[in-house]
Amino acid sequence: MSKILPFRALRPQPQLAGQVASLPYDVLSSSEARQVAGGNPYSFLHITKSEIDLPDDVHSYDDSVYEKAKTNLSAFLSRDVLFRESKPCFYLYQLTMQGKSQTGLVALSSIDEYDQNLIKKHELTRPEKELDRIRHISISGAQTGNVFLAYRPQPAIDELVTNWITTKNPVYDFTAADQVQHKIWVINDDTTIAGISELFATLVPCTYIADGHHRAASAAKVRQNLNGEIPDGANYFLTTLFPSNQLRILDYNRVVTDLNGHSVSAILEAVQRNFALELTGKEEVLPNAPHIFGMYLDKQWYRLTALPGSFRNDPIGQLDVTILQDNLLHPILSIGDQRTDKRINFVGGIRGLSELERRVNSGEMAIAFSLFPVSTDQLFTIADKGEVMPPKSTWFEPKLRDGLLTHLMEG
């Protein structure tokens, strides 16, 4: 079963929704957040990336950052930028990008089910990123980050969702600067709320974390760290649940700071031990099938095709992120644990190949790799087996916006 609850969301006044809504805290650097929120006093980045309101030399994990988030959240309430729903509700959140829509149910999911692995994971988390969100939740008293869950499609749930969004008016409807349209409906009818809860309890045996492993883990550890009486709101965390057939996974690409002491010619020679190498142009290099990679080196694009026998046939071994790690990043560039190695960085596919070129051409990085996206079937298979994908295997688009629906820990 999947236990979900309606909740009294903290949300913006309708006329301010587009200005409040912000990209998730973990897809923007502090400098990018300052630029995005510049001149916009309503941006939720003032809460999720509150270092933007402190001097530039203040570290993003400094104690003052979390206190500033709490202060800013209180200010948003006192200024009536945000208000609290009068009763527990479910919400429907529809995102439309490039003509394709996906609609998810915003609800509270059970931390007990997370601990029991009924909410399945596919990635490990980084302790410093967990601690950041633990402190943010604990000090602000709010779960501001939404965990993106997926479930296997159920016609009965699809029918209910379709009926609601086609017969009711959304409370929010705006198009963000990246041309993604955001619509939210409030489900406040008690009979419908009970029906949704029952459908998930009877039809959805488990859900899967698609995006937001750190947010989920942090919420669980906040409850674990509480002393004395635990407020009921701390037993749940903020989630949006999507049927998997509506999801879009993009490539999650890699850039590396140096060539590990090798020359360009030595890299090209070493790569050919496990890959067929072809010099190509940018227009032809985007991987269009599994086990094909793009490589940008010395202002040239190459297509790499993994040779037969160069990878394992198990679910993890067949992932392109594994093939690249086992056959190139580790043996040639000496990249060990991608979660902790400071020489590697990750670029979401939404930024395109031009971003890979820019980072290499600038001298910031020495080499870049583009990959074919992981599928939802691969994600589910690995999670069902209790196995873990390599770090940064999936990039979901479009992104849910922070600030539209927030869960207060007090319940």
pLDDT digits (tens, 9 = 90+) for 68-96: 999 999 999 999 999 999 999 999 999 99
Q: What is the per-residue pLDDT across 8-47, written as a single tens digit (0 to 9) for each? A: 999 999 999 999 999 999 889 999 999 999 999 999 999 9
Buried b (16+ CB within 10 A) or exposed e, 319-332: bbbbbbbbbbbeeb
CATH number of 252-372: 3.30.1760
Tokens 């309503």 label which residue? Answer: 42
- Work out the burial of residue 401: count CB atoms within 10 Å of its CB; fewer than 13 is exposed, 13-18 middle, 19 or more buried: buried
Rounded distance between C-alpha atoms, residue 194 and residue 188, angstroms: 10
Q: How far apart are CA 263 and CA 261, in angstroms?
A: 7
CB count within 10 Å of CB 232 equals: 12
Return the exposure string of 133-168: e unless at least 16 CB atoms fall within 10 Å of the residue's CB, then b.
bbbbbbbbbbbbbbbbbbbeeeeebeebbeebbeee
Q: Give, for 47, the enclosing helix (H) or strand (E).
A: helix 45-48
Q: Which two tokens stand for residue 292?
A: 């094909």
**pLDDT < 70 positions in the chain:** 411
SS3 content of the chain, % helix, strand, coil (to 5): 35, 25, 40
| Contact between 339 and 125 (Cβ < 8 Å) | no
Q: What is the pLDDT of residue 282?
A: 81
pLDDT of residue 411: 61
Q: Domain-by-domain residue ranges, the chain? A: 4-249+397-408, 252-372
Structural Rg of the chain based on CA atoms: 22
